């Protein structure tokens, strides 16, 4: 079992968002100072679907799915053809390139399911896989689980105010030296930055030149703040057929409780993903697939209002955080993540995260989940009640001052 023990050691979830409840409290081992700070607890580890509720009508469409019975319960492993065709049209419009809907699209158990299946379909033992630092924590874990070889590519998001700041020379070096797969999120999770047209264009050209398969997680690509543009990798015609785009309604649209996501692109990879889904979970829950019909078909103005509200929370929290001397933070261009780098504290990053939860009722995710080089950063998902979130940011600032070295 040694191989397995090592494999599962790397999959540690103790600091993963939402798992804090499983941590031993371990007050004693922490060098805590001062008293607890009063205030409504806020869990910034994920969005609050009570503050921002699911797409209107989603539940009704789910109910219709249940009433439809067997047809909706037992779909093909890749999902209901009717729903896939509905999605194909909407996602082709959104991303700017055609989708057939049958051979080139699969409905998965959330976008996490899509990422898992896409990684499994492309990463064998020893496959070199480029990942961005920092980026979504599961990317690294997926490479480890499938025994691929991680090739990290830095993203210097704090040193620019345009684009994501990916080191394109490092990316080309990685591709030149045998990297076969590149996985990244755009907008970036955790930094909330959007890759510029130039960056996406370069990624597409390099991937085509070196025959690299690209898996791009576009989970937050609809929640773009004022004046922000977005380039869909798949819409650039570079002749690289090996692109998989992943997206889903779990975040911006608050449909996480339904666990449905989508992957589309290369039919060969989608076909492998379906074969694997057959033994992973058979299919995304049949009834739940129906709610995808409400996605990209929201009431007029609903997305615009949601975006404005998130932008207001973003700006209010940034105003609070920027009072802190030595704190560095980039203004997110999209999505609902904020990823400040804190000044030097007397506690380690993960220790401060625990202190923050225990003393201030503020749950955030430690930067080490996203990159080994992000020890002094913390991630907020600011899709929360506005007032509670701002007050929790103020308590966070008080805690930073308390533990400043």
Distances (CA, A) of 32 to 21, 28, 129, 156: 19, 9, 40, 33
Q: Are strands 337-338 and 179-185 parallel, antiparallel or unpaired?
A: unpaired
Distance between CA 56 and CA 12 in Å, rounded? Answer: 36
Q: Is 170 in the site for a second copy (CB under 8 A)?
A: no
Minimum Å gap between C-beta 19 and a second copy is 6
The correct pick among 104, 135, 217, 274 for binding a second copy (CB under 8 A) is 274
C-beta of 209 vs 272, nearer to a second copy: 272
Candidate residues 113, 152, 165, 265; the one interacting with a second copy per rule CB under 8 A: 113
User: Which pair of tokens denotes residue 298?
Assistant: 């929201």
Q: What x-and-dash track marks residues 58-97 binding a second copy by CB under 8 A?
A: -x--xx-xx--xx-xxx-xx---x----------------
Tell the smallest beta-carbon distance from residue 134 to a second copy (Å).
Answer: 17
Asked if 372 touches a second copy (CB under 8 A), the answer is no
Please list every residue from 176 through 215 that binds a second copy, using CB under 8 A.
Answer: 180
Quick one: which of 152, 286, 332, 367 contacts a second copy (CB under 8 A)?
Answer: 286
Rule CB under 8 A: choose which of 22, 24, 38, 237 binds a second copy: 22
Least Å distance, CB 371 to a second copy, is: 17
Q: Considering the complex, what minimum distance in angstroms separates the CB of residue 121 from a second copy?
A: 7
* Closest of 114, 63, 117 to residue 87, by C-alpha: 114
- Least separation in angstroms between CB 151 and a second copy: 17
- For a second copy, how many residues bind (rule: CB under 8 A)? 67
Complex with a second copy: residue 196 or 288, whichever CB lies closer: 288
Q: Residue with structure tokens 């990798």?
A: 233
Shortest distance in whole angstroms from residue 298 CB to a second copy: 18
φ, ψ of residue 136 in degrees (nearest 5): -50, 130
Among the listed residues 87, 105, 129, 141, the single contact to a second copy using CB under 8 A: 141
Q: Which of 257, 299, 326, 372 binds a second copy (CB under 8 A)?
A: 257
* Residue 4 touches a second copy, criterion: CB under 8 A: yes
Of 7-15, 189-197, 230-238, 346-354, which segment contacts a second copy by CB under 8 A? 7-15
Question: Does residue 23 belong to the site contacting a second copy (CB under 8 A)?
Answer: no
Question: Per CB under 8 A, does 344 bind a second copy?
Answer: no
Among 42, 107, 142, 317, interactor with a second copy by CB under 8 A: 142
Non-local (6+) Cβ contacts of 122 within 8 A are 180, 181, 213, 215, 269
**Tokens 């202190």 found at:** 355
- Is the peptide bond between 282 and the residue preceding it cis, with omega within 30 degrees of 0? no
Q: For the window 287-316, what string marks contact with a second copy as x by the rule CB under 8 A?
A: xx----------------------------
Q: Interacting stretch for a second copy, rule CB under 8 A, among 85-93, 121-129, 171-179, 223-231?
A: 121-129
- Decide if residue 110 touches a second copy (CB under 8 A): yes
Sole window of 154-162, 217-225, 268-276, 327-335 interacting with a second copy (rule: CB under 8 A):
268-276
* Residues near a second copy, by CB under 8 A: 1, 3-4, 7-8, 11-13, 16, 18-19, 21-22, 46, 48-50, 53, 59, 62-63, 65-66, 69-70, 72-74, 76-77, 81, 108-110, 112-113, 115-116, 121-125, 138, 141-142, 145, 180, 256-259, 272, 274-276, 278-288
């Amino acid at each position: 079992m040694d191989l397995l023990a090592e494999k599962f050691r790397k999959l540690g979830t103790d600091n993963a968002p939402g798992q804090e409840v499983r941590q031993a409290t371990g007050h004693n081992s922490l060098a805590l100072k001062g008293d607890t700070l009063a205030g409504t607890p806020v869990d910034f580890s994920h969005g609050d679907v009570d503050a921002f509720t699911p797409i209107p009508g989603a539940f009704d469409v789910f109910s219709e799915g249940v009433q439809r019975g067997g047809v909706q319960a037992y779909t093909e492993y890749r999902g209901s053809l009717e729903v896939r065709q509905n999605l194909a049209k909407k996602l082709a419009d959104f991303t700017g390139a055609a989708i057939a809907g049958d051979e080139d699209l699969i409905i998965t158990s959330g976008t996490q399911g899509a990422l898992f299946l896409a990684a499994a379909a492309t990463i064998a033992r020893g496959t070199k896989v480029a990942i961005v630092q920092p980026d979504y924590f599961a990317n690294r874990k997926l490479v480890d689980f499938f025994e691929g070889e991680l090739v990290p590519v830095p993203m210097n998001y704090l040193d620019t105010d345009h684009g994501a700041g990916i080191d394109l020379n490092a990316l080309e070096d990685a591709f030149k030296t045998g990297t076969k797969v590149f996985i990244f999120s755009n907008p970036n999770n955790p930094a909330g930055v959007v890759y510029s047209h130039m960056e996406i264009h370069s990624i597409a050209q390099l991937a085509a030149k070196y025959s690299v398969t690209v898996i791009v997680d576009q989970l937050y690509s609809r929640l773009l703040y004022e004046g922000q543009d977005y380039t869909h990798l798949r819409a650039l015609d570079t002749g690289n057929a090996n692109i998989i785009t992943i997206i889903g309604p779990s975040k911006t649209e608050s449909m996480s409780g339904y666990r449905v996501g989508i992957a589309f692109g290369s039919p060969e990879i989608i076909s492998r993903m379906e074969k694997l889904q057959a033994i992973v979970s058979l299919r995304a829950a049949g009834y739940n697939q129906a709610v995808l019909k409400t996605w990209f078909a929201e009431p007029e103005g609903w997305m615009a209002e949601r975006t404005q509200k998130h932008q207001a929370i973003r700006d209010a929290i940034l105003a609070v955080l920027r009072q802190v001397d030595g704190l560095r933070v980039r203004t997110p261009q999209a999505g609902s993540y904020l990823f400040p780098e804190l000044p030097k504290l007397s506690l380690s990053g993960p220790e401060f995260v625990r202190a923050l939860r225990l003393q201030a009722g503020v749950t955030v995710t430690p930067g080490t989940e996203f990159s080994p080089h992000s020890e002094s950063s913390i991630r907020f998902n600011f899709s929360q009640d506005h007032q509670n979130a701002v007050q929790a940011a103020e308590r966070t600032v008080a805690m930073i001052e308390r533990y400043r070295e």
